């Protein structure tokens, strides 16, 4: 089956599977929209989360807009992410990511006369009359704390002035005026590298912000891939990404995009940016950073504005960031380093899919469970600071299961290591207080590596055997009790340290013959020596 052609085909696919909520009621983008969708991330199970399409949008000034807003449509859950990757289930995502990285497909440039993203063009006087960025229904993500509307799903396109290689990365963009948009990016991110190279030769940096594209592009923009993202997006789709040249800057953008904002980023001045709610669960502080002067906005005639729901985890961005980076790490361990016994790499949602990494291993195949953790800490940037290896019987996505493994399969002095690492993120306030943000780049960061695997055979888990739990499920349904969401482990299983005698006792018990076991134990009594005080 051909990949989704554009955002609206993707929305149709979600709706066909019951994964899209259409809201016809008038909704305020500044005070109601994000809080409404936030509720599903605070109050529903992951599998119940959906994408949202707001068809009647207003703002705090009662202004209405000629375009709907799609929110949390790319990754409200891993099941939706799997659909966007073109696979049947979440457990197939990592393999699809590895295939896309090892078999990229270069993009194809088309003639601008046929580019849907340029059906309407606003530049010069027309841009001013249309209100510039004000024509777009950009929501406020964290009402009551954010300093204004921010582009949360803005895919910034820039290119290396030395090589011409394009970057397609997601960075937040603060709407500061009709023709000025703030940009927040760390020094190690590609857009900052491009900015520094342009600054070194005394030139401003051309940029374009793509809004509303197909899932493969959004997934690649958040995955920290090496080189240009376009070929990897083609690898996911199984076909080239169609690109078109911008109207006022020399950049190539996806032709099927809903909206493209073109502009110039000065390299001789910066200005305060923020505050904005971030993926760590805290507000990012105001700091000096880059900004873009808008030169042109192009769009489809019936454009749909699209935004990510980020901020406090779990969120759409924690799924986007986590699944993409999981695929990158899995490929790095299994393909690049050819490590055996790597079953799964997981970034826990509750850590913003950033702070805690769990690697599920087959200990017999991988040898040293610490080895993959050490490889991950060798990454240049964006390193999780808590890394845990677990056995194959542990649900690596369930923090409760991981904590259980850490509680009874770990001796800290034997099974943990501390390693110095590059700063995982400048948004981590455990590094330095908010007032010391400029100093964070020189702060010392560390990671803890924990081997939470069984070092030898263990007794069975203390749960009823599978057949009894399956029978209990039938009884549960007969009694009309609430639907279950079972967590692993939900039945007992043997971990090696269980004798034939132990099993015989258990079998007699379920036949009602436990007195026979009592007689056997009576025959095995051991006389104790007399108490010396007697």
Average pLDDT score over residue span 356-365: 95
Mean pLDDT of 515-527: 96
- DSSP characters for 283-340? EEPPEEEEEEEEEEEEE-TT--EEE---SSSSSHHHHHHHHHHHHHHHHIIIIIS--S
- What pLDDT is stored for residue 461 in this prediction? 95
Q: What is the mean pLDDT of the chain?
A: 93
The residue-averaged pLDDT of 366-372 equals 94
Lowest mean pLDDT among 169-183, 422-436, 465-479: 422-436
Per-residue pLDDT averaged across 292-303, rounded?
98
- pLDDT tens profile 376-420: 998 756 678 999 999 999 999 999 999 999 999 999 999 999 998
First to last CA, the chain: 87
Residue 424 confidence (pLDDT): 63
Say which residues have a Cβ less than 8 Å from residue 14's Cβ, sequence separation at least 6: 20, 50, 51, 73, 80, 83
Structure confidence at residue 435 (pLDDT): 74
pLDDT over 70 percentage in the chain: 97
In contact, 244 and 252? CB cutoff 8 Å:
yes
- How far CA 212 is from CA of 133, 139, 176, 510, in Å, comes to 15, 14, 21, 60
Say how far residue 457 (Cα) sits from the centre of its chain: 35
Domains contained in the chain, CATH given = 7-307 (2.30.110.10), 337-452 (3.40.1670.10), 466-522 (no CATH)
pLDDT at 438: 53
What digits encode the pLDDT tens for the residues 412-443? 999 999 998 876 677 888 887 777 665 666 66
Q: What is the DSSP letter of 208?
A: E
DSSP H or E stretch at residue 253: strand 252-254
3-state secondary structure of 454: coil
* pLDDT tens digits along 113-158: 789 999 999 999 999 999 999 999 999 999 999 999 999 999 999 9
Token pair for residue 46? 């992951």
pLDDT of residue 353: 84
Look up the pTM and report it: 0.88
Please determine, for residue 219, whether its predicted confidence score (pLDDT) is greater than 80: yes
Give 183-202 pLDDT, tens digit per residue. 999 888 899 999 999 999 99
Kindly tell me if the per-residue pLDDT of 316 is higher than 60: yes
Least confident stretch, 70-74, 161-165, 218-222, 432-436:
432-436
Instruction: Please tell me the predicted confidence (pLDDT) of residue 279.
Output: 84
Three-state SS sequence of 114-182: HCHHHCEEEECHHHHHHCHHHHCCCCCCCCCCCCCCEECCCEEEEECCCCCCEEEEECCEEEEECCEEE
In tens, the pLDDT along 49-108 reads 999 999 999 999 999 999 999 999 999 999 999 999 999 999 999 899 989 999 999 999
Q: Which residue has the higher pLDDT, 24 or 282?
A: 24
Alpha carbon 219 to its chain centroid, in Å, reads 9
Average pLDDT on 294-320 reads 95
């Amino acid at each position: 089956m051909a990949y989704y052609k554009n955002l609206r085909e993707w929305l149709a696919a979600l709706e066909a599977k019951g994964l899209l909520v259409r809201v016809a009621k008038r909704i305020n983008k500044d005070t109601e929209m994000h809080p409404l969708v936030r509720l599903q991330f605070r109050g529903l199970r992951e599998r119940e989360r959906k994408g949202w399409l707001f068809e009647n949008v207003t703002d705090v000034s009662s202004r209405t807009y000629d375009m709907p807003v799609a929110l949390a449509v790319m990754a409200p859950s891993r099941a939706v992410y799997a659909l966007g990757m073109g696979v049947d289930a979440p457990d197939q995502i990592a393999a699809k990511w590895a295939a896309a990285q090892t078999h990229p497909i270069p993009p194809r440039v088309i003639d601008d006369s046929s580019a849907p993203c340029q059906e309407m063009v606003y530049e010069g006087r027309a841009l001013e009359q249309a209100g510039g960025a004000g024509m777009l229904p950009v929501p406020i993500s964290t009402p009551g704390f954010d300093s204004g509307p921010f582009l949360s799903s803005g895919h910034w396109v820039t290119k290396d002035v030395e090589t011409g290689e394009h970057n397609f990365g997601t960075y937040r963009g603060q709407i500061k005026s009709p023709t000025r948009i703030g940009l927040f990016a760390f020094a190690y991110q590609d857009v900052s590298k491009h900015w520094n190279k342009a600054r070194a030769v005394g030139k401003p940096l051309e940029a374009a912000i793509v809004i509303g594209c197909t899932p493969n592009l959004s997934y690649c923009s958040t995955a920290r891939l090496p080189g240009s993202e376009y070929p990897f997006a083609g690898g996911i789709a199984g076909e080239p990404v169609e690109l078109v040249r911008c109207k006022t800057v020399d950049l190539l953008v996806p032709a099927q995009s809903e909206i493209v904002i073109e502009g110039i980023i000065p390299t001789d001045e910066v200005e305060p940016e923020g505050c904005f709610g971030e993926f760590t669960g805290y507000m990012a502080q105001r700091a000096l950073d880059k900004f873009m002067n808008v030169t042109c906005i192009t769009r489809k005639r019936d454009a749909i504005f699209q935004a990510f729901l980020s901020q406090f985890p779990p969120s759409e961005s924690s799924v986007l960031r986590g699944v993409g980076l999981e695929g990158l790490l899995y490929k790095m361990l299994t393909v690049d380093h050819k490590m055996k016994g790597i079953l799964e790499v997981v970034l826990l949602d509750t850590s913003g899919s950033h702070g805690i990494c769990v690697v599920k291993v087959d200990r017999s195949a991988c040898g040293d469970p610490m080895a993959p953790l050490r490889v991950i800490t060798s990454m240049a940037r964006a390193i999780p600071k808590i890394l845990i290896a677990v056995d194959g019987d542990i649900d690596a996505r369930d923090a409760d299961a991981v904590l259980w493994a850490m509680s009874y399969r770990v001796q800290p002095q034997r099974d943990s290591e501390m390693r110095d690492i590059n700063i995982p993120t400048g948004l981590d306030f455990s590094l330095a207080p908010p007032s010391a943000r400029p100093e964070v780049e020189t702060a010392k960061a560390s990671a803890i590596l924990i081997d939470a695997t069984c070092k030898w055979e263990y007794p069975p888990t203390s749960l009823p055997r599978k057949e009894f739990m399956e029978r209990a499920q039938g009884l549960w349904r007969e009694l009309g009790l609430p639907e279950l969401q079972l967590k692993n482990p939900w039945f007992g299983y043997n971990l090696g340290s269980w004798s034939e005698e132990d099993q015989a006792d258990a079998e007699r018990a379920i036949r009602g013959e436990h007195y026979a076991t009592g007689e056997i134990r009576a025959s095995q009594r051991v006389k104790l020596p007399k108490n010396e005080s007697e």
